[in-house]
Amino acid sequence: MAPASSPPSSKAVCVMDASGRLGSSLVEKLLQLGYTVHASLFNNDDFFGGRKGLASAEAGKRLRVFRSDPFDYHSIVDAVRGCSGLFYSFEASKDQANYDEFMVEMEVRTAHNVLEACAQTDTVGRVVFTSSVTAVVWKEDRKSAGDFDERDWSDPNFCRKFKLWHALAKTLSEKTAWALAMDRGVDMVSVNAGLLTTGHEMPASTPYLKGTPEMYEEGVLVTVGVEFLVDAHVCVYERPSAFGRYLCFDRAICRPEDAVKLSQMLTPSSPCPPPSEELQVIQQRIKNKKLNKALLEYASGV
């Protein structure tokens, strides 16, 4: 998607954590759009590995790489300093793929440190906070509720009861970020993403996938491709009128054949199973009209 207008090349933004699937893709997109990018890494991965475009002479002039500790407020401030905006997302490292109560605490503390750093950095004009659909759909009365949208929140007590740690982490970290943003006057929008699909095999232990059968049965199992997710982030950052939360997905899994395709996408090396007779066509109960409207207006320059 082309932006309505290209930003000045001198405008700097920070992408944190840039070592994740979304973060690294955001860095590449923002460099293509002419931004100067501070790529803040929480993990010690080889950031340039497999990303030849980032190592080009032109991109290299506008790319600075920072090693940040999510528990070290000052290292976060160093990465954000001089930036007009921040794109923040938290992805567990490969050796921390299984969410538990420790990961919940880690996400909440990191979100607090990041928003506090932005509040203390005068140049930061907007924060785009990546959250999840799992921070929206898990609550006791969800079956009797109407369609889900940006106004809905997962219930932390429900998440604790059923050990939905990913949902709890995303819910509490986003609530922490919103509370601090409103208290400190930080201009923040959040993007609540569906299950991120990248074309690579995804283990069944992926934290988002806990409760997948229930999400399917209740019409709230949704996925998003990384390119669409990146475009959504750029859109809500560049549109001055963007506000609040945005549900972000480009595919709803509501038919047995869709469920089979998702299974194949997650584990492409496994044989393709036939659609289960137990699966039925489900009415979609989650809406992303707000984001679709914003993307349409952004693409048309409105």
Model confidence pLDDT, tens digit, residues 112-128:
999 999 999 999 999 99
pLDDT digits 0-9 by tens, 181-209: 999 999 999 999 999 987 666 777 788 99
Confidence of residue 50 (pLDDT cuts 50, 70, 90): low
Inter-residue contact 135 to 193 (CB < 8 Å):
no
Backbone dihedral angles phi then psi of residue 189, each to the nearest 5 degrees: -130, 150
- pLDDT at position 143 is 78
Q: Mapping DSSP to helix (H, G, I), strand (E, B) and coil, where does residue 252 land?
A: strand
Cα–Cα distance measured from residue 114 to residue 68, given in angstroms and rounded to the nearest whole number: 11
Tokens of 105: 């605490």
Residue 3 has pLDDT above 50, yes or no: no
Cα–Cα distance measured from residue 31 to residue 187, given in angstroms and rounded to the nearest whole number: 23
Domain for residue 282, yes or no? Answer: yes
Inter-residue contact 40 to 79 (CB < 8 Å):
yes
- pLDDT at position 6 is 40
Averaged pLDDT score across all residues of the chain: 88
Residue 137 has pLDDT above 60, yes or no: yes
Count of structural domains, the chain: 1
Cα atoms found within 13 Å of the Cα of residue 141, Cβ hemisphere only: 5
SS3 content of the chain, % helix, strand, coil (to 5): 40, 15, 45
Residue 26 has pLDDT above 70, yes or no: yes
Confidence of residue 59 (pLDDT cuts 50, 70, 90): low
- pLDDT at position 48 is 58
Domain for residue 5, yes or no? Answer: no
Residue 225 has pLDDT above 50, yes or no: yes
The residue ranking higher by pLDDT, 199 or 157, is 157
Domain for residue 6, yes or no? Answer: no
Overall size of the chain counted in residues: 302
Domain for residue 2, yes or no? Answer: no
Structural domain including 159 reads: 12-299
Cα–Cα distance measured from residue 114 to residue 183, given in angstroms and rounded to the nearest whole number: 14
Which of these is catalytic: 11, 52, 61, 170?
A: 170
Annotation marks residue 170 as catalytic = yes
First-to-last C-alpha distance (Å) of the chain: 14
Residue 192 sits in a domain whose CATH number is 3.40.50.720
Domain for residue 1, yes or no? Answer: no
Inter-residue contact 138 to 158 (CB < 8 Å):
yes
- Under 8 Å CB-to-CB from 279, ≥6 apart: which residues? 216, 256, 259
- Under 8 Å CB-to-CB from 231, ≥6 apart: which residues? 1, 29, 295
- What average pLDDT does the segment 45-51 reach? 57
Tokens of 72: 């070290």
- Long-range CB pairs of 44-53 (<8 Å, 24+ gap) are 45/19, 47/18, 47/19, 51/24, 53/28
